[in-house]
Amino acid sequence: MARPGSGRGPGSSGHAQENQGQRDHHDRLPGAVSPVLLPQRRRQAHRLFDRPLQRIVTGIQQQLKLPKLDVKWVAVTVDTRIPAVVNGTVDLECGSTTSSLSRQEQVDFSHMIFVDGGSLLVKLSSNFVNLQDLGGKKIGVIPGTTTEGALKSVLQKTSVTAQIVTIADHRGGLAALESGSIDAYASDRVILIGLAATATDPGQFAIAEQYLSYEPYGFMLRRGDAPFRLAVNRVLSSLYRSGEIVQIYSRWFGKLGPPAKILIAMYALYALPE
């Protein structure tokens, strides 16, 4: 996002063009100033991140003393999100992306922005109690996600034999569950909550109490761009120190109760001082 970098990558000719009144700011952050490029993944579950993103854009603009900083939303998928960051198509990826050590071999991550965990969306009529109830059942999951790996691991450890059905996207997972072509859909809990809320009959669904995994979310950005990462983290730490992040959480998830203790602890740990 307004990445202070080389401007290389697909479509980069436009990235290096300065807005009217802009100068090159090598003395502050290296490289040419580009428009903000963010992935277009705007489901309700991600609205928690909208305010931090707005603050990040403002923070970059203020640090570079720019009169204007444009934002361009770029659509990505689970399969294209990491390549899009690596090759410069986007500067900051703002979806439900888990920060993992294997992913950090290719990309970098901001401070943690949310703590979630994989779980299962099921129909109340299935009388689901625990994972053993899924023996011989069909479980949908998006391939290539951390949830897929966690699901396979949990099924193996609990000796539950279930059929894993690959799903293209979250909406497809909800549709498959509603039609009965799968018996459960696996994803991060915050995404499952958002999906259930948009269903034709939200009351027919339940989210399993069991956690399949630990999923620490972060904004994904290119490796080797320490000034940009610092600019992003500076804004996030400010939001955490002020407590504004809790107000943002309450706005979107207040009906679900207060933030979990692990989430409050995460905000405190990343409320770094200037």
Q: Which fold has domain 12-115+216-269?
A: D-Maltodextrin-Binding Protein; domain 2 (3.40.190)
Q: Are 241 and 273 in contact (CB under 8 A)?
A: yes
Q: How far apart are the first and last CA of the chain?
A: 22
User: Please, which residues have CB within 8 angstroms of residue 146's CB and are 6 or more apart in sequence?
Assistant: 98, 100, 118, 213, 215
Residue 47: predicted pLDDT: 62
Residue 16 scores a pLDDT above 90: no
| φ/ψ (deg, to 5) at 123 | -90, 140
Residue 42: predicted pLDDT: 40
**pLDDT-derived band of residue 95, with 50, 70 and 90 as boundaries?**
confident
Domain 118-207 in this protein, CATH class: alpha beta
Residue 207: predicted pLDDT: 86
Q: Which amino acid is at 49?
A: F
Beta bridge partners of 88: none
Torsion of CA 168, 174, 178, 180, to 10 degrees: 40
Min mean pLDDT across 37-51, 76-90, 135-149, 226-240 is at 37-51
Instruction: Record the pTM.
Output: 0.65
Domains 12-115+216-269 and 118-207 share a fold: yes
Q: Are 71 and 255 in contact (CB under 8 A)?
A: no
Q: How far apart are CA 75 and CA 55, in angstroms?
A: 21
Q: Are 177 and 165 in contact (CB under 8 A)?
A: no
pLDDT tens track for 159-184: 999 999 999 999 999 999 999 999 99
Min mean pLDDT across 39-43, 85-89, 115-119 is at 39-43
* Domain assignments of the chain as residue spans, ordered by start: 12-115+216-269, 118-207
Residue 4: predicted pLDDT: 28
**pLDDT-derived band of residue 256, with 50, 70 and 90 as boundaries?**
low
Q: Which amino acid is at 35?
A: P
**pLDDT-derived band of residue 46, with 50, 70 and 90 as boundaries?**
low
Beta bridge partners of 104: none
Q: Are 110 and 55 in contact (CB under 8 A)?
A: no
**Other beta carbons less than 10 A from residue 199's beta carbon:** 15
